């Protein structure tokens, strides 16, 4: 961080306080992993509270989650058809986790796991493997036709291009999310140094909107890749 300042991450400091440190005084567990676990614990707690006393007339957390899950499910089904329900739980989980991680990073003393390339790359690799799995599960070896192009004589040319294109999807997913969230952290740090409160408070609202958009972009691209894997090759 500019000016030689180092951010104080509360969960990391708590881990250090209980003695989980290496020879150099650093926490044994990386910061992005600590906060990933923290936000997962928050989401699990909220889900338990939301489903503890289910009611036919939802209110509070139940109402919020029913609206969120219902809206996401309708979006997936509208774009993928009924088959979208098969993969919806994974897509919804990705969106909610990424959203919580993005927004959670704006909390003072916290850090966004998605501001670390290891987190975003891990999710991108998972999405890549997941939609390839569905492709082979639904179409068997015929799924290879997705990589060979519409005409068999073009296969030697199209196959390496398609393979590179699919691997590039992982790079795109991971770098887009990482770059935007890391950029937010840098901008907020600089603004806080130059003009605390006056400049950072308005930017918080803008970044919250950007965090929602980035979570939705990752969710939507993952859905489109799955949609392509579900379709028959032409």
Q: Quick one: CA dihedral 227, 75, 89, 43, positive or negative? A: positive
For the chain, give every domain's residue range: 2-230
Average pLDDT, the chain: 86
pLDDT at 109: 79
Give the pLDDT mean for 112-118. 94
| Closest listed residue to residue 103, CA positions, set 220, 221, 210, 217 | 210
> Measured between alpha carbons, how far is 121 from 179 in angstroms, rounded to an integer?
12
pLDDT at 108: 78
**DSSP 8-state assignment for residue 113:** G
pLDDT beyond 60 at 12 = yes
Q: Judging by beta carbons within 10 Å of its beta carbon (0-12, 13-18, 19+), is residue 76 exposed, middle or buried?
A: buried
Tens digits of residue pLDDT in 30-65: 888 999 999 999 999 999 988 888 787 777 888 899
pLDDT beyond 70 at 191 = yes
Confidence of residue 3 (pLDDT cuts 50, 70, 90): very low
pLDDT at 95: 97
Tens digits of residue pLDDT in 167-190: 999 999 999 999 999 988 888 778
Select the more confidently predicted residue: 79 or 108: 79
Give the pLDDT mean for 122-127. 97
pLDDT beyond 50 at 163 = yes
pLDDT at 2: 40
Tens digits of residue pLDDT in 57-79: 777 888 899 999 999 999 999 99
pLDDT at 136: 93
DSSP percent split of the chain into helix, strand, coil, nearest 5: 80, 0, 20
Confidence of residue 91 (pLDDT cuts 50, 70, 90): very high
pLDDT at 56: 78
| Closest listed residue to residue 115, CA positions, set 181, 46, 38, 42 | 181
Confidence of residue 4 (pLDDT cuts 50, 70, 90): very low
> Measured between alpha carbons, how far is 107 from 112 in angstroms, rounded to an integer?
9
pLDDT at 7: 62
Give the pLDDT mean for 83-92. 95
Confidence of residue 10 (pLDDT cuts 50, 70, 90): confident
């Amino acid at each position: 961080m500019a000016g030689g300042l180092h951010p104080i991450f509360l969960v990391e400091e708590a881990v250090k306080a209980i003695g989980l440190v290496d020879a150099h005084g650093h926490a044994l567990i990386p910061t992005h992993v600590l906060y990933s676990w923290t936000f997962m614990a928050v989401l699990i707690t909220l889900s338990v509270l939301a489903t503890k006393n289910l009611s036919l007339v939802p209110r509070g957390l139940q109402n919020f989650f029913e609206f969120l899950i219902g809206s996401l499910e309708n979006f997936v089904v509208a774009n993928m058809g009924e088959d979208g329900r098969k993969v919806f739980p994974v897509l919804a989980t990705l969106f909610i986790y990424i959203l919580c991680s993005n927004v959670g990073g704006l909390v003072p003393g916290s850090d966004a796991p998605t501001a670390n390339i290891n987190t975003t790359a891990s999710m991108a690799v998972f999405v890549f493997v997941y939609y390839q799995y569905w492709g082979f599960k639904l179409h068997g070896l015929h799924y290879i036709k997705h990589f060979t192009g519409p005409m068999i004589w073009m296969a030697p040319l199209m196959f390496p291009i398609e393979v590179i294109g699919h691997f590039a999807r992982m790079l795109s997913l991971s770098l887009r999310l990482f770059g935007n969230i890391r950029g937010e952290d840098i901008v907020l740090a600089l603004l806080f140094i130059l003009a605390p409160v006056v400049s950072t408070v308005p930017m918080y609202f803008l970044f919250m909107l950007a965090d929602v958009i980035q979570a939705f972009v990752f969710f939507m691209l993952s859905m489109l890749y799955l949609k392509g894997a579900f379709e028959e090759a032409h």
